[in-house]
Copies of this chain bind each other. A is one copy, B any other.
Amino acid sequence: MKFYSEEITFKTKGNCDIVNITDKIETVRINSGFSNGLCSIFAVGSTTGITTLEYESGLLKDLPELLNKLIPKNQRYNHDDTWGDGNGFSHLRSALFKTNFSIPLINSQLVLGTWQQVVFIDFDNRPRNRRIIVQLIGE
């Protein structure tokens, strides 16, 4: 059993920008040289999230629309009184989606469904420089 870790950085547009990070994770997997194990992904920051989604244009509209209904952007939150940066909704969305995810690695393949891509979501209300940590435990 060995351990391998890489940090990945990229820019986002914020405002529920959904970034397909599947290929970035696969590159780390190749760099690790591991064939079997667990791949764990972590997004740094309290207005981020990681999950899986079929990466197609319909759902890329549906998910932000759903979030605007469940945790509206245009609403005053107590957080906004503290900092005045108007991103209370971003923190709440991140707390709900959470910033970690993990995928099995079996026979040199990260196991995902055919329509299942790993996505990073930037819940913040402005463009950001983001970083994620991709770790593999395996052999």
Pick out which of these stretches binds chain B: A9-17, A24-32, A60-68: A60-68
Q: Cβ of B40 and Cβ of A38 under 8 Å apart?
A: yes
Q: Cβ of A3 and Cβ of B1 under 8 Å apart?
A: yes
Considering residues A36, A71, A79, which has the most beta carbons from chain B within 10 angstroms of its beta carbon? A79
Q: Other than A37-B135, A37-B137, A61-B78, give 8 A-B pairs with Cβ distance below 8 A.
A: A1-B3, A5-B36, A42-B111, A44-B112, A45-B116, A46-B53, A57-B78, A62-B88
Contact A79-B96, Cβ < 8 Å, known A1-B137, A45-B113, A104-B42? no
A8 within 8 A of B: no
For the complex formed, measure the closest distance between the CB of A30 and the CB atoms of chain B, giving whole angstroms: 19
